[in-house]
């Protein structure tokens, strides 16, 4: 790839297209727990639009202003009620919109690269910011970067405002308005769930002393593409080898088991070393009553499955997948309530440094509608992310670009572990579309 550079062309604060009555928006215990984490940084690479880039930029700014009317809290800033906790002051302080130009950078430089190029991090704003910074920084910051033959739309989104489901709900709603739809297809549900009304608000006054400024280490990042045929084969193998009494191991559970085993082997852990696999489990469907996908906010928890390295590698793929499946199956409305009660009784914020370096963490989901976004000039070519929440062992699952069950896994590892993974026989065999 040639030596590319990014230069900022303009920076604008985007306000609501119409003034709304100023009010507050309360954060839940699940939201408050995210205050020390990074902003979500995700975006889409698009082909070159059939219109001047200035027109593209103006369309995106106008549609973002209209979209914020449906999500007005995203145009506010955090504030503190001394009697309770952090909330959003819907004061329309605005979202940040930056236009940038990537000189000498082409779409092929990104989609054909083995490792995710380091320049991708420059496609996102709020690098290094944590959600607690939302007292003074925008809760949403967009950077639209013009490539020589394409456009990248990168969005940095305060994770205390919502999880991945909420992020893509907002992103896709914005794309609908940009493409000319008169309104959004799925208005957000902002009423707090019944469980929060029953348990009451979290009483926690955050301060900088409670926060951690996590610095992303030097990593290699690769996106591994699993075809629909490969995913089906891995899932079938896991189900055939497992001893499940009921239910079925999902595609993501099977892929997570594969990565847990392969990365544990790449790390060459002692047989007696405990290793874990954390999965980001969504609670919307598990609550009683369940919540629709349109619920806006955080409704997730990282759930842990552990094993000794020797046991994990001494058994087959089905054993590991079954262990993950059983952990997921134990997540119910009751466990969600128990977890939330714990956060209310003992409020705290998650620190990325708590992550076990002998484990892996699988976040995001291939079920998110990432390629559903069309801003008016065609579907996206690739999903890419910034430096947020990246550490050795972090994996993000994305749907493949082509419909039909393809899955992409963005894998972050220390360079020597990535080199070992790239020669792991079980992993390489699983990547093959068919035998």
Q: Which residues are annotated as catalytic? A: 159, 374
Which strand (E) or helix (H) includes residue 329? helix 317-329
SS3 assignment, position 288: coil
Written as six digits, the tokens of 38 are 């990074």
Say how many residues make up the chain: 435
Reported as half-sphere exposure (CB side, CA atoms, 13 A), residue 385 has a value of 27
Measured distance CA(3)–CA(431) in Å, rounded:
31
Using CA of residue 90, residue 299, residue 365, residue 185, what is the dihedral sign? negative
- DSSP conformation letters of 208-227: GGG---------EEEEEEEP
Does residue 119 sit in helix, strand or coil?
A: helix
Beta bridge partners of 86: 80
Element (H, E) at 371: none
- C-alpha dihedral, 368 to 369 to 375 to 379, nearest 10°: 120
Q: In Å, what is the CA distance from 381 to each residue of 40, 300, 389, 400, 410?
A: 20, 28, 23, 10, 15
**Which uninterrupted H or E stretch holds 143?**
strand 140-146
Residue 315 CB-density burial (10 A; 0-12 exposed, 13-18 middle, 19+ buried): middle
3-class state of residue 378 by DSSP = coil
Q: 206: helix, coil or strand?
A: coil
Cα–Cα distance for residue pair 304/275, rounded to 1 Å: 10
3-class DSSP state for residue 160? coil
């Amino acid at each position: 790839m040639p030596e590319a550079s990014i230069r900022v062309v303009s920076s604008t604060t985007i306000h609501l297209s119409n003034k709304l009555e100023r009010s507050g928006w309360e954060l839940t215990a699940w939201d408050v727990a995210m205050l020390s984490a990074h902003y979500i940084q995700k975006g889409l690479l698009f082909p070159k639009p059939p219109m001047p880039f200035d027109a593209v930029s103006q369309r995106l700014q106008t549609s973002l202003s209209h979209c914020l009317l449906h999500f007005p809290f995203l145009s506010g800033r955090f504030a503190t009620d001394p009697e309770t906790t952090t909330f959003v002051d819907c004061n329309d302080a605005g979202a940040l919109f930056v236009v940038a130009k990537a000189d000498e950078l082409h779409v092929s430089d990104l989609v054909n690269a083995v490792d995710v190029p380091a320049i991708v991090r420059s496609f996102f704003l709020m690098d290094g910011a944590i959600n607690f910074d939302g007292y003074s920084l925008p809760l949403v910051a967009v950077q639209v970067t013009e490539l020589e033959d394409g456009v990248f739309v990168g969005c940095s989104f305060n994770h205390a405002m919502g999880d991945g489901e909420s992020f893509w709900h907002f992103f896709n709603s914005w794309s609908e308005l940009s493409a000319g739809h008169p309104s959004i297809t799925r208005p957000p549900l902002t009423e707090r769930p019944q469980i929060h009304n029953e348990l009451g608000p979290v009483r926690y006054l955050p301060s900088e002393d409670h926060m951690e400024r996590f610095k992303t280490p030097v990593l290699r990042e690769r996106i591994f593409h699993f075809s629909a045929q490969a995913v089906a084969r891995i899932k079938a193998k896991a189900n055939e080898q497992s001893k499940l009494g009921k239910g079925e191991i999902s595609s993501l559970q099977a892929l997570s088991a594969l990565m847990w085993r392969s990365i544990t082997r790449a790390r060459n852990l002692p047989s007696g070393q405990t290793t874990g696999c954390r999965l980001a489990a969504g609670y919307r469907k598990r609550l009683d009553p369940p919540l629709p996908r349109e619920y806006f906010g955080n409704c997730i928890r990282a759930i842990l499955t552990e094993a000794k390295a020797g046991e994990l590698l001494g058994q087959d793929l089905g054993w590991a997948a079954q262990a993950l499946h059983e952990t997921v199956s134990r997540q119910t409305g009751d466990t969600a309530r128990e977890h939330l009660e714990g956060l209310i009784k003992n409020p705290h914020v998650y620190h990325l440094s708590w992550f076990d370096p002998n484990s892996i963490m699988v976040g995001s989901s291939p079920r998110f509608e990432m390629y559903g976004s069309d801003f008016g000039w065609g579907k996206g070519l690739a999903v890419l992310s910034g430096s947020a929440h990246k550490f050795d062992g972090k994996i993000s699952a994305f749907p493949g670009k082509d419909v039909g069950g393809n899955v992409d896994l963005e894998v972050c590892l220390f360079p020597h572990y990535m080199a070992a993974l790239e020669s792991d026989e079980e992993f390489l065999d699983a990547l093959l579309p068919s035998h």
